[in-house]
Amino acid sequence: MDFLRPDTLAEALALKAEHPDAVPIAGGTDVMVELNFDHRRPAALLDLTRVAELRQWSERAGVVRLGSGVPYARVIDELGGALPGLAAASRTVGSPQIRNRGTVGGNLGAASPAGDAHPVLLTVDAVVEAVSARGTRLIPATEFYLGVKRNALEPDELIAAVLIPRARGPQQFCKVGTRNAMVIAVCSFAIALHPAAARVAAAIGSAAPTPRRASAAEEFLSGELTAADQWRSPRPLPEPVRRRFGELVAEAASPIDDVRGTAAYRGHALAVLARRALGWAWQDYQDHRDRWGGSV
């Protein structure tokens, strides 16, 4: 097995163009598991850890450009204010060791239906910046996940960064696992309120072949909020609205029975998570409307 060690992104892209079969390795927390279990036997590994450009983040015009190689620990420490949903998801990933190594870029590269970053990225209008020797391609997160562990990258492309607008409304992420830490999601849920656009985004993880948006639930809730003029003068959400929202989120899932949980439980749990997370997000909006700009 060849071990390719580029120092710059340009070098990495040249190597990837030359060796499209080379498997990129960032934190290695997915790749090394696959090698260890003998699930994968690539001809070459493309080590991205020396590429400094990938390990940085910056913010311009209200958009955070998160280098694909920034580990979860730094998302938590440095971006909790700008990207609260992603930071919340990052906190639930693995153990401290995994959060020190693992990256959002790696989560996207693996594209596991259980990846914790995905539901959040789907709700915050994130865009994946895919690069190759041919140039740069911007792929909205909503178009990135194609199937179980399949994503929209071309063989010669690498993920340079993820572009994520700074939060302009409350965000929540929650995940059910059968242990209180260090657990793969049985199912997960993310919600982001976008008051400026009078819109709600919601997404689920580990409950379908890919992470996905819960569109019917979003439309229902956005409709209810607008109809009741809630964005401008937020009041407690009626219980039936929260409940209906939960049900619609659960309906967006096509879960399976597996060793981690039953399909029925996943559906049930998603409804509970969605109802609760909406309550928290809305309470936050009610309490801090000024902070969120409340400019509708």
Partner 1 sequence: MSPIRTALTSALTSEVTGGIGTSPRRPDGNLKVRGEFAYASDLWHEDMVWGATLRSPHPHARIVSVDLTEAIRVPGVRAVLTHEDVPGLNRYGLERKDQPVLAEGVVRYQGEPVALVAADHPETARRAMRRVKVAYEVLEPVVDVETAAGAAPLHPGGNLLRHVPVRRGDQAATAAVVVTGRYEVGMQDQAFLGPESGLAVPAEDGGVDLYVATQWLHVDREQVARALGMPEDKVRLTLSGVGGAFGGREDLSMQVHACLLALRTGRPVKMVYNREESFYGHVHRHPAVLHYEHGADRTGKLSYVKAKIYLDGGAYASSTGAVVANAATLGIGPYEVDNVTVDAWGLYTNNPPCGAMRGFGAVQAAFAYESQMDRLAAELGLHPVELRLRNAMAEGSVMPTGQLVDSAAPVARLLELVRDKPLPPPSGALDLRDMPGGVANTTHGEGVVRGVGYAVGIKNICFSEGYDDYSTARVRLQVVNGEPVAQAHTAACEVGQGLVTVVQQIVRTELGVRRVAILPMDTTIGDGGSTSASRQTYVTGGAVKAACAAVRAELAAMAGTEDLSEVDLAELLGDRVVDRTAEYRHRRTEPIAPVTGQGNAHVQYGFAAHRAVVDVDTELGLVKVVRLDCAQDVGRALNPQAVVGQIQGGSAQGLGLAVMEEIRTSGGRVRNPSFTDYLIPTTLDMPPMGVDVLELADPNAPYGVRGVGEPPTISSTPAIVAAIRAATGLALTRVPVRPEHITGT
- Residue ranges in contact with partner 1 by CB under 8 A: 36-38, 88, 91-92, 95, 172-184, 186, 259-262, 264-265, 267-269, 272-273, 276-277, 279-280
Gap between the Cα atoms of 16 and 238, Å rounded = 53
Q: List the alpha helices (DSSP H) in 80-168.
A: 84-91, 96-101, 104-110, 117-123
Question: Out of ligand FAD, partner 1, none, which partner does residue 61 contact, by CB within 5 to 8 A per kind?
Answer: none
Which residue in the set 13, 29, 57, 74 belongs to the binding site for ligand FAD (CB under 6 A)?
29
Question: Out of partner 1, ligand FAD, none, which partner does residue 269 contact, by CB within 5 to 8 A per kind?
Answer: partner 1
> Six-digit token pair at 253?
């899932």
Binding of ligand FAD at residue 162 (CB under 6 A)?
no
Question: Out of partner 1, ligand FAD, none, which partner does residue 26 contact, by CB within 5 to 8 A per kind?
Answer: ligand FAD
Question: Out of ligand FAD, partner 1, none, which partner does residue 110 contact, by CB within 5 to 8 A per kind?
Answer: ligand FAD
Could you tell me which of 111, 265, 62 has the C-alpha nearest to residue 177?
Answer: 265
Binding of ligand FAD at residue 188 (CB under 6 A)?
no
Gap between the Cα atoms of 114 and 95, Å rounded = 16
Gap between the Cα atoms of 164 and 181, Å rounded = 27
Which stretch, 92-100, 218-226, 238-246, 251-259, contacts ligand FAD (CB under 6 A)?
Answer: 92-100
Contact in structure between 40 and 149 (CB atoms under 8 Å): no
Gap between the Cα atoms of 41 and 34, Å rounded = 9
Which residue in the set 13, 15, 25, 186 belongs to the binding site for ligand FAD (CB under 6 A)?
25
Contact in structure between 185 and 116 (CB atoms under 8 Å): yes
Structure-token match 């340079």, residue found:
160
Gap between the Cα atoms of 88 and 81, Å rounded = 11
**3-class state of residue 293 by DSSP:** coil
Which residue in the set 47, 116, 125, 284 belongs to the binding site for ligand FAD (CB under 6 A)?
116
> Six-digit token pair at 222?
């956005």
Which stretch, 80-88, 102-110, 191-199, 250-258, contacts ligand FAD (CB under 6 A)?
Answer: 102-110
Gap between the Cα atoms of 282 and 2, Å rounded = 51
CB of 32 to partner 1, least distance (A): 13
Residues 118-147, one symbol each (x = binds ligand FAD by CB under 6 A, - = not), give: ------------------------------
Contact in structure between 84 and 118 (CB atoms under 8 Å): no
Which residue in the set 6, 84, 85, 106 belongs to the binding site for ligand FAD (CB under 6 A)?
106
Q: Which residues, in sequence order, are CB contacts of 113 under 8 Å at separation 6+?
A: 148, 149, 205, 206, 207, 208, 209, 210, 211
Binding of ligand FAD at residue 115 (CB under 6 A)?
yes
Interactions with ligand FAD, residue window 230-269 (CB under 6 A): none
Binding of ligand FAD at residue 26 (CB under 6 A)?
yes
For ligand FAD, the binding residues (CB under 6 A) are: 23-31, 33, 48, 68, 92-94, 98, 101-103, 105-107, 109-110, 115-116, 158-159, 184
